[in-house]
């Protein structure tokens, strides 16, 4: 997504401040830093990983990825973004997630991918479920929106399986200004709690 969710929520000043503080103070995730740039570049260089994701820093160069990591950290300090990585047993980057947050709207979105050799193992759905729980419970947002390319069946299955409500299609805008037609979903914290907590 390139814009906040379709559903407009208004956070109280206290709620907005709490969300920003949670994003700034995140400790449950390995926040990406300069030491992860080379690993992210390797990850994104595989089209099986990067092709379905419209908002990555193309073209993939060390400089573009380093700038993206630095920009994400600056946004985290504002309470609006968390770029995190997962590492394999050898300490290599095996995946990433980027949570974009609109604290004033108590809303967020999630993007991410795993290394190609780890895809189609079923653990992607677990990762989505853990990320959703983190966003609702640790960050305190009340709404999560997601998009996926029309032909990204694997992501669509994981999103549907997590209980997101399909809400049509949107035009996702890439950093270079081009667009991609995407399937669009939303999930409220109340709906998630009814489905997963009770």
Question: What is the SS3 string spanning 4-19?
Answer: CCCCCCCCCHHHHHHH
Q: What angle do CA 62, 58, 37 make, to 5 degrees?
A: 30
Nearest to 25 by CA among 114, 126, 140, 164: 140
In which element (H, E) is residue 82 found?
Answer: strand 81-87
> Dihedral of CA 57/89/137/168: which sign?
positive
Q: 13-144 adopts what CATH topology?
A: Aminopeptidase (3.40.630)
pLDDT band with cut points at 50, 70 and 90 for residue 2 = low
Residue 178 main-chain phi, psi, to 5 deg:
-75, 165
Q: Is the pLDDT of residue 125 over 90?
A: no
In which element (H, E) is residue 112 found?
Answer: strand 107-114
- Whether a cis peptide bond, with omega within 30° of 0, leads into 59 is yes
Mean predicted confidence (pLDDT) in 7-36: 96
Task: Residue count of the chain, please give it.
Answer: 198
Q: Give the residue extent of every domain in the chain.
A: 13-144
Burial label for 84, CB within 10 Å (0-12, 13-18, 19+), is: buried
- Is residue 184 within 8 Å of residue 170, measured between CB atoms? yes
Q: Is the pLDDT of residue 134 over 90?
A: yes
* CA 63/CA 98 separation, integer angstroms: 19
| Residues 24-59 pLDDT 10s | 999 989 999 999 999 999 999 999 899 888 889 999
Is this model's pTM higher than 0.85 or not? yes
| Residues 73-124 pLDDT 10s | 999 999 999 999 999 999 999 999 999 999 999 999 999 988 887 776 666 6
Q: Is the pLDDT of residue 1 over 60?
A: no
**pLDDT over 90, % of the chain:** 66
- Is residue 158 within 8 Å of residue 185, measured between CB atoms? no
pLDDT mean across residues, the chain: 90
Q: Which two tokens stand for residue 148?
A: 């996926």
Q: Which two tokens stand for residue 34?
A: 């300069």
Greatest pairwise CA separation for the chain in angstroms? 46
Least confident interval from 106-115, 129-138, 148-157, 180-189:
148-157
């Amino acid at each position: 997504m390139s814009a906040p969710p379709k559903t407009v929520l208004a956070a109280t000043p206290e709620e907005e401040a709490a969300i920003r503080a949670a994003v700034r103070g995140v400790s449950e995730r390995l926040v990406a830093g300069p030491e992860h740039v080379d690993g992210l570049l390797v990850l994104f260089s595989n089209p099986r990983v990067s092709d379905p994701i419209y908002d990555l820093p193309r073209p993939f160069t060390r400089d573009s990825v380093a700038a993206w990591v630095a920009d994400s950290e600056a946004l985290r300090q504002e309470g609006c973004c968390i770029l995190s990585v997962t590492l394999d047993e050898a300490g290599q980057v095996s995946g990433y997630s980027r949570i974009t947050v609109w604290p004033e709207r108590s809303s967020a979105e999630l993007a991410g991918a795993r290394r190609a050799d780890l895809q189609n193992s079923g653990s992607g759905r677990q990762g989505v479920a853990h990320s959703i729980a983190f966003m609702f419970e640790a960050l305190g947002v009340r709404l999560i929106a997601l998009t996926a390319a029309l032909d990204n069946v694997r992501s669509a299955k994981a999103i549907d399986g997590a209980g997101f409500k399909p809400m049509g299609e949107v035009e996702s805008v890439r950093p270079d200004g081009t667009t991609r037609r995407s399937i669009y979903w939303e999930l409220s914290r109340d709906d998630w709690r009814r489905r997963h907590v009770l």
